Amino acid sequence: MSKVTPSLKAAQFTESVIREMTRLARKHQAVNLSQGFPDFPAPAEIKAAANQAIEHDINQYAITWGSPRLREAIAVDFTRRYGVPVDPETQVTVCCGSTEAMISTMLGVVDPGDEVIVFEPFYENYGPDAILSGATPRFVPLREPSWSFDPDELAAAFSDRTRAIIINTPNNPTGKVFTRDELQQIAKLCQQWDVIAITDEIYEHILYDGTSHIPLATLDGMAERTVTINSVSKTFSVTGWRVGWTISPASLAAGIRKVHDFLTVGAPAPLQEAAAFALKQSGSDGDDYYRNLAAHYAARRDRLLAVLERTGFRCYRPSGAYYIMTDISAFGFDNDVEFTRYMVQEIGVAGVPGSSFYREPSGGRTKLRFCFCKRDETLAEAERRLAKLQVRA
Ligand SMILES: Cc1ncc(COP(=O)(O)O)c(C=O)c1O
C-alpha cells in the first residue's frame, strides 16, 4: 500500500464544516450567516494603530510568547476586570488566535491516552484538537432548552484518566453562559480529580439580558489549574488578525510556550502592538467599548430571532456570543445537512448544520446554527430571502 497518503491522525477528522459553508455560500452567492466573522469594518483607531506599528517598523519576529506590551496589556486587563493577579512575564502566551492557543495548550499540557472532557454540542475545533494531541474526548451533554448539564453525568465523566476539561463560555453554538453554580460544580470536580481546566472565553464581552461572564480562574483555587484562552478576533472584530492568548499558571505556560514556539514562532508582530492598544484603550474608556459592543449585538440578536421565528425556526435564545441555534423540524427535511444545502442553493442563506457540533451526526440532525455578526443590510437581505422558505411539517 502506498505511503503517499495523509497521516492516520489527519484521516480521523474532516475538513471544518463551518469553513466549508463559507466557501459554499460564496459559490452560490448566499447570504453568509454561517462562519462567525463580522462583515462590517473594524474600529478605525485600532486599524490606525496597526498601520502605525508597520510604519514604525515593528515588522520582525516578536518575542515568541508575545510582545511585552501586549502581554502587559492582557495581564492588566484581566486583573483590572476580574481581580486575579497575572504575571505577564511567566503566565501569558500570545498565539495566532485562540485557535492556536487551544491546540498549543492541548499539545502542551495533555499526554496521549489522557481523557479530556468536552461539553456537547461543542465548537467543532475541539474534536480535531483532541485527536491531534492523542487525547480521548469524553463528551458530556448540554441539554436543551437551557443547555445545562446533569451534575451526575458530569461527575461520572471524571476519573483518574481525566487530564483536562474544556469549557466554552459564553458558548458557541448554544449561546449558553455558564452560571456560577455550574462553574462551582466544575471547579469542585477539577480539584477533586486534579484536573486542568481549559476555558475558551473568546465571547466574554458579548452578553445579553444582564448576564455576567464569570471566568473559571476567578473561583477559589482555580487560577492554579486553569488555562484561560481569549483573542481579539471577536471583541475587536478582527478575526483575520490572528492574535489570541493564554493566561495560565507559569508551570503550564512552560509547556504551552514550547509548543507554540515550534508551531508558529509567534503571532503577527505589528498586530500584537495594535491589540495592546485596543485593550488599553478599551480599559481607559470605562468599558464603554465593551458595553457598546454588547448592545450592538443585542439589537442584531433580537432582529434575527424575530425573523427566524416568523419563518418557522424554533430558536434557542442566546444569552451570549453571536449565534442562534435553531430547531428545523418544521421544514420537513430528513436531516440538517440536506436542509442546509437546500438553504444555500435554493433560498440563498447559509447556516451551519447542527451535526457539526456533535460527535454523532444524529445529535444535531434537527438543528441549524445562524450567526448575526453582520451589517443591517446583510440581515435585511437574509430576511428577504428567508420569506421564500415554507414550513412543511
Ligand atoms: C468558541 C470559539 N473559539 C475559538 C474560535 C476561533 O477564534 P480565533 O479567531 O481567536 O482563532 C471561535 C471562532 O468562531 C469560536 O467560536
Helix (H, G, I), strand (E, B) or coil at 325: strand
| Residue from 103, 118, 129, 202 to probe ligand 1 pocket by mutation (most atoms less than 8 Å from CB) | 202
Give the lowest-confidence range in 218-227, 250-259, 279-288.
279-288
Report DSSP state, residue 35: S
Q: Which atom of ligand 1 is nearest to the CA of 102?
A: 4
Burial of 132 by CB count in 10 Å (0-12 exposed, 13-18 middle, 19+ buried)?
middle
Give the mean model confidence (pLDDT) for residues 376-382. 97
- For ligand 1, the distance from its centroid to the CA atom of residue 332, given in whole angstroms, is 32
The residue ranking higher by pLDDT, 325 or 15, is 325
What is the enclosing helix (H) or strand (E) of 377?
helix 376-386
Q: Which of 259, 266, 320, 271 is nearest to 129 (CA)?
A: 259
| Residue from 204, 234, 245 to probe ligand 1 pocket by mutation (most atoms less than 8 Å from CB) | 234
- For ligand 1, the distance from its centroid to the CA atom of residue 367, given in whole angstroms, is 20
CB 202 within 8 A of CB 101: no
pLDDT at 211 over 80: yes
Cis before 137? omega within 30: no
Amino acid at 141: P
| Residue from 94, 100, 172, 236 to probe ligand 1 pocket by mutation (most atoms less than 8 Å from CB) | 172
The x, y and z cell numbers of residue 43, run together, are: 474600529
- For ligand 1, the distance from its centroid to the CA atom of residue 1, given in whole angstroms, is 38
Protein residues with CB under 6 Å of any ligand 1 atom: 36, 97-99, 123, 168, 172, 200, 202, 231, 233, 239, 244
Cis before 121? omega within 30: yes
pTM as predicted: 0.97
- Residue 21's pLDDT band (cuts 50, 70, 90): confident
Q: Which atom of ligand 1 is nearest to the CA of 37?
A: 14
- For ligand 1, the distance from its centroid to the CA atom of residue 239, given in whole angstroms, is 8
- For ligand 1, the distance from its centroid to the CA atom of residue 194, given in whole angstroms, is 27
pLDDT at 393 over 80: no
pLDDT in tens, 136-173: 999 999 999 999 999 999 999 999 999 999 999 999 99
- For ligand 1, the distance from its centroid to the CA atom of residue 263, given in whole angstroms, is 18
In terms of phi and psi (left: phi > 0; alpha: psi -120 to 50; beta: otherwise), the region of 85 is: beta
Give the mean model confidence (pLDDT) for residues 175-204. 98
Cα-to-chain-centroid distance, residue 6: 27
Give the lowest-confidence range in 18-22, 175-179, 251-255, 341-345.
18-22
Give the mean model confidence (pLDDT) for residues 236-250. 98
Q: Which atom of ligand 1 is nearest to the CA of 321?
A: 16
Q: Which atom of ligand 1 is nearest to the CA of 18?
A: 14
The residue ranking higher by pLDDT, 361 or 171, is 171
Look at residue 117 in the predicted model and tell me its pLDDT: 98
pLDDT in tens, 32-69: 999 899 999 999 999 999 999 999 999 999 999 999 99
| Residue from 37, 95, 99, 176 to probe ligand 1 pocket by mutation (most atoms less than 8 Å from CB) | 99
Look at residue 208 in the predicted model and tell me its pLDDT: 98
d(CA 141, CA 164) in angstroms, rounded, equals 17
Average pLDDT score over the chain: 96
Give the mean model confidence (pLDDT) for residues 108-122. 97
pLDDT in tens, 262-297: 999 999 999 999 999 999 999 888 889 999 999 999
pLDDT at 16 over 90: no
